[in-house]
Chains A and B, each alone.
Chain A
């Protein structure tokens, strides 16, 4: 009897879970049908009827919901990639800065971490957005930051390569009557999300970097310095390679958080995956399907990032074990 108990218990758990899922599914389906919505993913092929201003691929109101989700996914990936590169660079600098023997640099780096880690990301997104919208000049008074780089309320206009019949050409932004045409324009919404994500995540990455560098025994750098290596050489050839090993897993965690946090774009109207799903679900009533799509996409992105980072970690460990530091 005692042997059978765990099996009976588990069978009961499976039964209860299946029953609950079946019950929920039938209640949801009945409620959706009562509202005149046919459950299922068929709506993805229907006409979306809304426009998306900021997009990487062609899209207008006549396209399908499915394509709208694709536009949203590309926007999520775009802002996440930019923020990943920027936050790793900034976080690395600040992390090393915290360990600097120069007290000014160290204190400044600590202040960076304490400020940006302790304010909610949503608030940072809103603050950067309000700052951009409120303080930037109108397009016809745009600030010129460099040749063909213009910053104004309509965003950051930069030259962008385009493929024409004669090959790759650099398309320059031109000021039209109301806004810039040509080139590529990074909207204030995009910039707000990218900048806030970078600042917030860089604070966490800096702490990761600091912890990893501190985990390298002090004797290592002392020995390197005693051998006549300069401080930069010591960092470059002795400390960083060893720190990298213990840094990659927590760094991977921070990048996963960054990708998930990019969903806060919805607060300033940057059309990322979640914003598109939000519009779609209020318009079509397919709440369950839209939320399932969001969850599936983020789970996929998380798994992909985790797999890439662990592949890198594995390669690094193998290389270092082979003595090729």
Chain B
């Protein structure tokens, strides 16, 4: 124990304690929690202004969604949290969870979009905030996964043409930034469509996100495919199974179980990446804050406090996912 009693350690500990105290003082003791702009201005930067969050939390959480209809994104949000929570518990795993996801995500769309069962129609440009962040992440993952499996099988397959096609796609997407793919979705996809065919920006961006995530996930899955021994393929073929039967019943189940932790990393990356859609004009969590404070001279000075609050939400999500992924690794 004597080793730790060096003067250097005391110095570090003292500096840390002092920095921690300053932070605590700024974030809690001096901070203003009530939505009082005058009190926030009076702080002159000596304390955090969490009042910006209390004042603007509806815009931050739900973006431009009509105020009197905001129970709908709230219910959608709780539904998605519920599904995620159930998926984290191994005893809920099974075919029923699969069905629950399908029904749940349809319900989320129905709640947000409306137009049926007496719900007012709310167009996608007005969707925003945390529900949009989760929606992009979940639908992005759901769309990217099957595409990634096909790309990985294609790149590992026997047909040279298909192999080079999949390789080209994967390497191009992995070589360019997501911003470029989002620009493509926002500005180029509309040019591809014949006259009279218009898709909302949200759908185009989702397609961009799916293509981007699929390229990265395909490489993860391909790594798993390569780790399955040849004997497995040969044994399955010797039993008379067709190519797809071999893949679906023998190779993929083993592969996917092995690469699950790496796929979790892809999910975390995608969750963080959804913040980029603000660049093409969708107001998810990050964009919604800009929406809340940029146009309001009273609160504009406290954008920093708002961004810190949002950073904390993202941090919670990513930290929880990475801890879960580590636990998963131990289970496998």
Which residues from chain A sit less than 8 Å from chain B, CB to CB?
A: 6, 9-10, 13-14, 17, 24, 27-28, 31-32, 101-105, 108, 114-115, 117-124, 126-127, 130-131, 134-135, 260-261, 263-264, 266-267, 274, 277-278, 281, 287-288, 290-291, 294-295, 298-299, 302-303
Contact = CB atoms under 8 A, between A and B. Distances in A.
13 contacts: A13-B161, A120-B272, A122-B278, A123-B310, A123-B311, A134-B304, A261-B177, A266-B279, A274-B179, A277-B183, A291-B188, A295-B172, A303-B175
Contacts of A105: 12
Contacts, number: 132
A266 B179 contact: yes
Interface in B284-332: 286, 301, 303-304, 307-308, 310-311, 314-315, 318-319, 322
Contacts of A290: 183
For the complex of A and B, 4 pairs with smallest distance between CB atoms? A118-B318, A260-B177, A263-B177, A10-B161
A267 B276 CA distance: 9
A134 B301 contact: yes
A101 B304 CA distance: 36
A107 B187 CA distance: 46
Which of B178, B268, B307 has the most chain A CB within a 10 Å cutoff?
A: B307
Contacts of A277: 183
Interface of B: 3-4, 9, 12-13, 16, 45, 158-162, 165, 172, 175-180, 183-184, 187-188, 191-195, 268, 272-273, 275-276, 278-279, 286, 301, 303-304, 307-308, 310-311, 314-315, 318-319, 322
A172 B319 CA distance: 46
A274 B45 CA distance: 34
A124 B276 CA distance: 12
Given A119-B318, A123-B307, A24 B159 contact: no
A127 B177 CA distance: 21
A287 B177 contact: no
Which of A101, A120, A287, A294 has the most chain B CB within a 10 Å cutoff?
A: A120
Given A126-B307, A130-B304, A134-B304, A120 B176 contact: no
B191 A288 contact: yes
Given A28-B192, A119-B318, A299 B301 contact: no
B92 to A, nearest CB: 26
Contacts of A102: 4, 9
Contact of B322 (A32, A118, A295): A118
A127 B176 contact: no
B191 A127 contact: no
Contacts of B176: 260, 294-295, 298-299
Contacts of A120: 272-273, 275-276, 286, 314
A325 to B, nearest CB: 30
A274 B162 contact: no
Given A10-B161, A103-B4, A126-B286, A118 B314 contact: yes
B180 A274 contact: yes
Contact of B175 (A104, A126, A281, A298): A298
Contacts of B180: 263, 274, 291, 294-295, 298
B121 to A, nearest CB: 29
Given A13-B161, A102-B4, A274-B177, A119 B314 contact: yes
Contacts of A27: 191-194
A10 B315 contact: no
B128 to A, nearest CB: 16
Nearest to B273: A120
A13 B188 contact: no
A32 to B, nearest CB: 7
Given A10-B159, A114-B319, 5 more contacts: A32-B191, A101-B3, A260-B178, A274-B180, A287-B187
Contact of B304 (A17, A124, A127, A266): A127
Contacts of A124: 311
B105 to A, nearest CB: 23
Which of A17, A119, A277 has the most chain B CB within a 10 Å cutoff?
A: A119
Contacts of A28: 188, 191-192
Given A105-B12, A295-B176, A123 B187 contact: no
Contacts of A291: 180, 183-184, 187-188
Nearest to A124: B311
Contacts of A9: 159
A121 B278 contact: no
B22 to A, nearest CB: 15
A164 to B, nearest CB: 39
Which of A17, A31, A263, A264 has the most chain B CB within a 10 Å cutoff?
A: A263
A119 B308 CA distance: 10
A318 B13 CA distance: 44
Which of B179, B194, B301 has the most chain A CB within a 10 Å cutoff?
A: B179
Nearest to B305: A130
Contact of A104 (B16, B184, B272): B16
A157 to B, nearest CB: 23
Contacts of B192: 24, 27-28
A206 B294 CA distance: 35
A123 B286 contact: yes
Nearest to B274: A120
Nearest to B192: A24
Contacts of B304: 127, 130-131, 134
